[in-house]
Chain A
Amino acid sequence: MSAPILQARNLHVEFSGVKAADGVSLDINEGEFLAVIGPNGSGKTTLLNLCTGYVRPRSGSVLLDGHAITGLTPRAITRRGVARAFQIPQLFSDQTVLDNMMLALAAKDGLWTMVRPLGSRARRDEAIALLDLIGLRDDRNRVSRTLPEGHRKLLDIAVALALKPRLLLLDEPTSGVSTLERFSLMESLMSALRQRSITALFVEHDMDVVARYANRVLVWNAGTIMAQGHPDEIFKDERVLKNVIGVA
């Protein structure tokens, strides 16, 4: 098995008495595509928030490449190679699709190289290539707030990919995307992840997507990991079928 890129150890976090993580430990291994499934409100997004520094655990630690990142800001963790796409797309809504992409590419280069024009030829080409990959090339000159929700979702993922992360955390990447476009999005995403050797964790409710693309599934329920394993095993687990998949 390949080495873990991210490790969570004994994480505890609660909101108003509700436990979103109750002593959770997990590893995300280099190169894998790990799916997290579970009922709404079970704490799946909190896991992403913990891993990216948006929420600090009451106790426990998060390690990236063996180094503690607990307590670091989302900015510091992003700069260490962890990118995130959100359940509700987080875009610069007044800027064009292309500008959103180019700003992400420029951000990767660092603040102090940011005084040259945003739309340099090389950066524009790179942004368009990524938009092409994700299927948004034709929308490149649209202001991002005018995009349909599915395309906003795609752009959010493309922005995260533009950061050239080692680990990508995706929160329901296919929600809001039409059924017809769902699998073509996932194919494009998987292709981009393989090309760039990006490890990924994705929270997902669509079990067809999970079954088809995940190497491993982690079942999250009431702030704990109920089960984990290969999709084939998980989808045969009676407890998972009864408590999670039936309501996911």
Chain B
Amino acid sequence: MIRTLVFVLAVLALVIAPTVAPWLEFVLTIAIAKGFAALGVAILLRAGLISIGHAMFFAISAYGVAFFAGSGISDFGILLVLSVVVAGMAGAVVGAFLVRYRAIFFAMLNLAVSMVFYALFAKLYGITGGTDGMPVPVPHVFGLALSEPAFKNVLFYGSVALMVLVGFLVHRYLDSPLGHALSAVHTNEVRLEYLGVPVWAVLLVAYVLSAMLAGIGGAISAFAIGRVVPDFAFWTASGHLVLVAVFGGIGGVPGAFIGALFLELLHTKAAAYTDAWNLIVGATLIAVIMFLPKGLYGLFSRSEVSAQ
């Protein structure tokens, strides 16, 4: 009950924030985009699998937006759906190979594949624009041609709505037998096999879902920034997603978004004061890992327990 109330208040605060401080709109949009991708990473973390390559799906979707927009599709919704589907398809192909691996092998293979995509985005200059990237024009929304500031407004509120809707669906998935089976992979894969559950299928579903979530983040970022670049797929971007997931906590869906919002705001504020902003972010991360092993979301789940 308390958690629901906190959740509603947090979403309301998020909705109101850009009206109080307009500069927050872009920062929060990017934070939500990263939150989606971090949620994808967090889903795999539940199975004990660390992906240091999920930025590839973020980038694939972002480039998808640029390609589809360049091919004449101008509708925001269609661009979003198509690019996320492409990310999901890429997730199915990559995941079909990678879900056979565990631990460090899974992490490193994700990293390797993501760097292949990074190289392709950076080197195929004639197709991808190389390191210059590709522009993403302002799309139409329900047939309406909007000014850029108006579209950015729509994008922000659309992202918040999508966060609530997709977050709810992911919560339902995690509460389903399939979601519980995913956590069970981490604790006892042998028993899962002896229940007749195909572990590879459980992991592949999770992998595709996580790729699509990263894809949603990538598409939102492409629209928000107006340009896509190979750096979206660079391994440090993937590492950042793991950082966000751990920072926010993997105990519940809101964790990834809490982590992303907190880190993005911390980064923005720290960078305004000092060039050594990484020092502040790093110190904060150490503090969270030491004192909040369940991440920032652990604070809320703890208050729920004590409220009972």
> How far apart are A154's CB and chain B's nearest CB, in angstroms?
15
A52→B199 CA distance, assembly (Å):
17
Whether A118 lies near B180 (C-beta < 8 A) is yes
- Count A-side interface residues using an 8 Å CB cutoff: 30
> CB distance B181 to A103 under 8 Å?
yes
Contacts of B201 in A (CB 8 A): 111
Residues of chain A lying within 8 A (CB to CB) of residue B202? 111
Quote the shortest CB–CB distance from A208 to chain B (angstroms).
29
Cβ contact of B194, chosen from A78, A93, A95, cutoff 8 A: A78
> What's the nearest-Cβ distance from chain A to residue B46, in Å?
10
Comparing B128-136, B185-193, B238-246, the segment that makes contact with chain A is: B185-193
Say whether B178 contacts A115, CB under 8 Å. Answer: yes
Query: Residue B198 at the A interface, CB < 8 A?
Result: yes
Binary B-proximity of A85-125 (CB < 8 A = 1, otherwise 0): 00000111111000100111011100100111111000000
Cβ of A73 within 8 Å of any chain B Cβ, yes or no, is yes
Knowing A103-B180, A118-B176, the reply to whether A93 touches B187 (Cβ < 8 A) is yes
A218 at the interface (CB under 8 A from B): no
Inter-chain contacts of A194 with B (CB < 8 A): none
* B124 interfacial by beta-carbon distance below 8 Å: no
* Complex contacts, A8 vs chain B, CB 8 Å: none
| B195 CB within 8 Å of chain A | yes
Partner of A163 from B175, B184, B188, B195 at Cβ < 8 Å: B195
Chain B nearest CB: distance from A172 CB in Å? 16
Report yes or no: B176 in contact with A115, Cβ–Cβ below 8 A.
yes
Best-surrounded residue of B177, B181, B193, B201 (most CB of chain A within 10 A): B177
B308 CB to closest chain A CB (Å) equals: 12
A142 proximal to B (CB < 8 A): no
Contact call A90/B190, Cβ cutoff below 8 A: yes
The answer to whether B181 and A114 touch across the interface, beta carbons within 8 angstroms, is yes
Bound together, the chains give a CA A232 to CA B32 distance in angstroms of 72
- Other A-B contacts than A78-B193, A99-B180, A119-B175, 20 sampled, CB-CB below 8 A, are A52-B194, A74-B193, A74-B194, A75-B196, A79-B196, A90-B194, A91-B187, A92-B191, A94-B187, A102-B177, A103-B177, A107-B196, A111-B202, A115-B173, A115-B176, A117-B172, A117-B175, A118-B175, A159-B191, A163-B195
Q: B residues within 8 Å of A by Cβ?
A: 172-173, 175-181, 183-184, 186-188, 190-199, 201-202
- Would you mind naming 16 contact pairs between A and B with Cβ atoms under 8 Å apart? A52-B194, A74-B190, A75-B194, A90-B194, A91-B188, A92-B183, A92-B191, A95-B180, A95-B183, A103-B181, A108-B195, A114-B176, A114-B181, A115-B173, A118-B175, A159-B195
